[in-house]
Structure 1
C-alpha cells in the first residue's frame, strides 16, 4: 500500500508588481502551515518523500512543514507549478519506489482535481467537502492499495481524511 498526502500551499499574499511564481505567504499562512504539519505528524502521517512546486509560496510552506518531517527527502519539481491533475499524476507515477508515503506541496485546482480523480471511496462527508473546496493549507490523505506508484489510477484510492485549517481552529478556510 502507498499513501499520498496532498498539501495545498498556505495562504499567500499577492503584492502589486509581484509575479505569481514569486508570491510570498501571508501571516495567516505562516501561522497555519506548521500547525497543520504538527497535526499530520501527531497522527502518524509522515512523508518519506516530498515533491514541492518551485513557487515561492510552496517553498515557504515546505520550509514551515519541514521541522515536523526532518527525515523526508525533498525535491523541487518544476512540473508541479500550476499543474493539471494529469501532470500531477505523472509526478506521482515517477515517485521513488522506496517511498511508501509521498507528499505533494502544490496548488489548486490541480490538487483538488487529482484528489477527486484518485479517491474512489472514503467517508461521505470528507469526499463531499473535498469536492466543494480545497482551501489553502488543507490536506487530503489518500491511501492507494497499489504495490508501485505507477499503478495509481482513477478511483483506486480511498480518501483517508481531508483536513482544513478551519477544522483545526486556525481561522476561516480560503
Structure 2
C-alpha cells in the first residue's frame, strides 16, 4: 500500500515585486499552517518522506509541517522539479519515488495539486485551497502503479478555523 499526502502551499503575498518562486507567505498562511498541521498530526504517522518545491511559499509551508510533526532532516527533501503547475509533471515526479517509501507528503502548487487530488482520489474538489491537504491511499506496491485511490482525509483551513 502507498499513501500520498498532497499539500498546497500557504497563502502567498503579492506585496513585493519579486519573481514568482521568491514570493513569501502572508500572515494568514502561518495561522492556516498551524491549524492544518496540528489537525493532520492526529492522523500522521512518523515514517513519511517529505518532498517540497523549492519556491519560498511551498518550502516555508513544508517547514511548518516539519516542525509541528517532528520530521527528521533525513526525511525532508527539496526537489527542484516540484516547482511545477502541471499535473502530468507532478504525477511523473511522484511516480519516481522509491518503492521502499510507503508514505509520501508533497508540498506544491496549483493547478497541479487540485488536478491530482481529483484525478487520483475518489472525492472531487473544485479547488484545493492554499494550505489545503488531501490524503489518498493506493492498494499498490509501486508508486509507478498509482492510478485511482481512496481519499481518506481532506483538510481545508477555512473549515478548521
Q: Indicate the SS of the match to 2:94.
A: helix
Structure 2 residue aligned with 1:14: 14
Note the 1:63-142 alignment, pairs <5 A: 63-67=63-67, 68-71=69-72, 73-119=75-121, 121=122, 127-128=123-124, 130=125, 132-142=126-136
* Separation in 2, partners of 1:69, 1:142: 22
Structure 2 residue aligned with 1:157: 149
**Is the contact made by 2:99 and 2:141 (CA closer than 8 Å) also made in structure 1?**
no
Kindly state the Cα deviation for residue 102 of structure 1 after the two structures are TM-superposed.
0.3
* Separation in 1, partners of 2:64, 2:14: 19
Tell me the number of residue pairs that the alignment of Structure 1 and Structure 2 aligns.
159
Comparing 24-33 with 37-46, greater Cα deviation is found at 37-46
* Separation in 2, partners of 1:158, 1:117: 11
| Counterparts in 2 of 1:62 and 1:50: CA distance versus 1, 3 Å | same
Q: Indicate the SS of the match to 1:17.
A: coil
Q: Indicate the SS of the match to 2:88.
A: helix
* Separation in 1, partners of 2:158, 2:85: 26
**Is the contact made by 1:6 and 1:105 (CA closer than 8 Å) also made in structure 2?**
yes
Structure 2 residue aligned with 1:124: none
Kindly state the Cα deviation for residue 94 of structure 1 after the two structures are TM-superposed.
1.1
Structure 1 residue aligned with 2:52: 52
* Separation in 2, partners of 1:62, 1:16: 22
Comparing 39-48 with 107-116, greater Cα deviation is found at 39-48
Could you tell me the TM-score, scaled by structure 1's length?
Answer: 0.85
Kindly state the Cα deviation for residue 34 of structure 1 after the two structures are TM-superposed.
2.3
Kindly state the Cα deviation for residue 45 of structure 1 after the two structures are TM-superposed.
5.2
**Is the contact made by 2:94 and 2:143 (CA closer than 8 Å) also made in structure 1?**
yes
Q: Which runs of 5+ in 2 are unaligned?
A: none
Q: Indicate the SS of the match to 1:102.
A: strand
RMSD: 1.5
